[in-house]
Amino acid sequence: MVVAVRRRRALLSGWLALLFQQPRYGGCGSAKTGSIGWWNRRIWSRCPWHQGAAMAGKHKETSGESSFPKNRGEEDNKEHQAGTDMHYPKETVRKRQNSSRSSRGSDSSRASRRSFRLDYRLEEDVTKSMRGKDGKFVNPWPTWKAPALKNILKWALTEKNNSNVPSSKEELDKELPVLEPYFVQQPELAGRTDSGIRVTWLGHATVLVEMDELVLITDPVFSHRASPVSFMGPKRYRAPPCTIEQLPKLDAVLISHNHYDHLDYNTVVGLNQRFGGELRWFVPLGLLDWMQRCGCENVIELDWWEENCVPGHDEVTFVFTPAQHWCKRTATDDNKALWGSWSVLGPCNRFFFSGDTGYCAAFEQIGKRFGPFDLAAIPIGAYEPRWFMKYQHVDPEEAVRIHIDVQAKKSVAIHWGTFALANEYYLDPPVKLEEALVRYGLQSEDFFVLKHGESKDLHFDEECFENKPTTFMSTPMDVDKMICEVQEEENKKCVLND
Ligand SMILES: *[C@@H]1O[C@H](CO)[C@@H](O)[C@H](O)[C@H]1NC(C)=O
Ligand SMILES: *[C@@H]1O[C@H](CO)[C@@H](O)[C@H](O)[C@H]1NC(C)=O
């Protein structure tokens, strides 16, 4: 009884701290200031699409015609010019181009790579981000309800916390062993996956993904607490399986939103110290300033459905896609930044990172436009009690529905086994996941669970040709409309099947 009360108090103080702490605890805010000019805010690269918003008009224009990929060569430059001029004053464009040219590393790409345009015929079928009258972002789905203080209190005071995380390290080591990731001993193997995709779970929502000659990390958290302060807030009961120094060379970081268990100040600073401007940060709209105050220079901030890429890797497109969640780091910054998921579309593999989310209609849209995905990382934990959590966190059954909606060939379970954020028994998520898979007629290996630090290689039989012409055409709708005979001949054109 005493323990239960104490736990509730601990929980309550954590949440109240999050609700009422002062902005100075927000992390980067006061830590560093830089004299980074306004025009440096977006680091321009030689990606074919510099920034989604600038290109959206162009895509709409062409959305009626057949959008078969063609050799874009010089067209890219013209388009860039047109795209940017449309949206920014001339002066700004010039400054940006200068800053891009002189910035080290981040734009030293091979300009000769061919790249392909995504198919935008489904442009009108997706839900765009929305803001309320106060300028703050809102969830545009009927499945959303904001976590009211009244309900937070009700949860904290009346619901039983069934986490029961053992305090004995032996027991934890037995139930949730933390393995040393393969790349600590064999860093030379990292990033070499041929046409396959490799995923390593580093705890909570942090996964390392190697695909299409890139090494990515999602929502990196290497700290021991998910909190603005080091003495309070959710503490991880399983340590990170490696340090930032032990990571292989990373090309990109994907950030889903700014909650402390997904965006950690010390981790951002640590990664930036190690990789500097070579590392590209993909962040939701509204987070750019915060990232720059952390010292990060190579940051791309995107709205839902906008896209960009890593310099020198034009062939892999990063699209910020929706999710149903919310944002908060300080007392007053609620939903000033956006939240979402990431769709990474390469010539060989497609990876979907769902971030932190409740179940909503977004995933079907994402699946229609960008599926099938070779791999999805989907949360299975922090879901009890449902009356309170369901708007912001899926349970394992809804996770399986996301897996189906986005048309994932395989999924990896994340967002469990690391922080005790909600009320379910700490070992329940994989058990419930297995039950849900059975109900949906799926196999354990379709939506698998990894140990901390464990990796899995996924090799798909299909050959991967660089510049495979149909790579970006395979939304199910398109497949219905077209007969694409890629396997037979590399350069064979798709045929419309009207
Ligand atoms: C851009 O660079 C050119 C040549 O390097 C220089 O003459 C010009 O003043 C620069 N413009 C700005 C806005 O910095
Ligand atoms: C629930 O209990 C665990 C210990 O089992 C504790 O670490 C955690 O903070 C509590 N969770 C909440 C949401 O209070």
Q: Whose CA is nearest to atom 12 of ligand 2?
A: 11
Q: Whose CA is nearest to atom 13 of ligand 1?
A: 95
CB 301 within 8 A of CB 342: no
Alpha helical stretches, state H, 35-118: 52-62, 75-87, 90-102
Per-residue model confidence as pLDDT tens for the chain (498 residues) = 444 445 555 545 445 444 443 333 333 322 222 223 222 333 333 343 433 332 322 232 233 333 333 333 333 433 333 333 333 333 322 223 333 333 333 332 222 223 344 555 445 578 999 999 999 999 999 999 988 889 899 998 899 999 999 999 999 999 999 999 999 999 989 987 788 999 999 999 999 999 999 999 999 999 988 877 766 678 899 999 999 999 999 999 999 999 999 999 999 999 999 999 999 999 999 999 999 999 999 999 999 999 999 999 999 999 999 999 999 998 888 999 999 999 999 999 999 999 999 999 999 999 999 999 999 999 999 999 999 999 999 999 999 999 999 999 999 999 999 999 999 999 999 999 999 999 999 999 999 999 999 999 997 555 665 444 443 433 443 433 333 333 344 343 433 333
Q: Whose CA is nearest to atom 7 of ligand 2?
A: 420
Residue 66, token pair as written in the block: 């057949």
Residues 6+ apart with CB under 8 A from 69: 116, 117, 469, 471, 472, 473
Binding site membership of 163 for ligand 2 (Cβ less than 6 Å): yes
User: How far is residue 365's CA from residue 340's CA, in Å, rounded to a whole number?
Assistant: 13
CB 376 within 8 A of CB 354: yes
- The residue with tokens 């268990």 is 261
Instruction: Indicate the angle between helix axes 2-20 and 149-158, nearest 10 degrees.
Output: 160
The pick from 98, 99, 100, 102 for probing ligand 1's pocket by mutation, whose C-beta has the most ligand atoms within 8 angstroms, reads 98
Binding site membership of 420 for ligand 2 (Cβ less than 6 Å): yes
User: Among residues 417, 424, 453, which one has the least CA distance to residue 176?
Assistant: 417
Counting ligands in written order, which one lies closest to the CA of residue 90?
Answer: 1
Binding site membership of 164 for ligand 2 (Cβ less than 6 Å): yes
Residue 98 CA to ligand 1 center (angstroms) comes to: 6
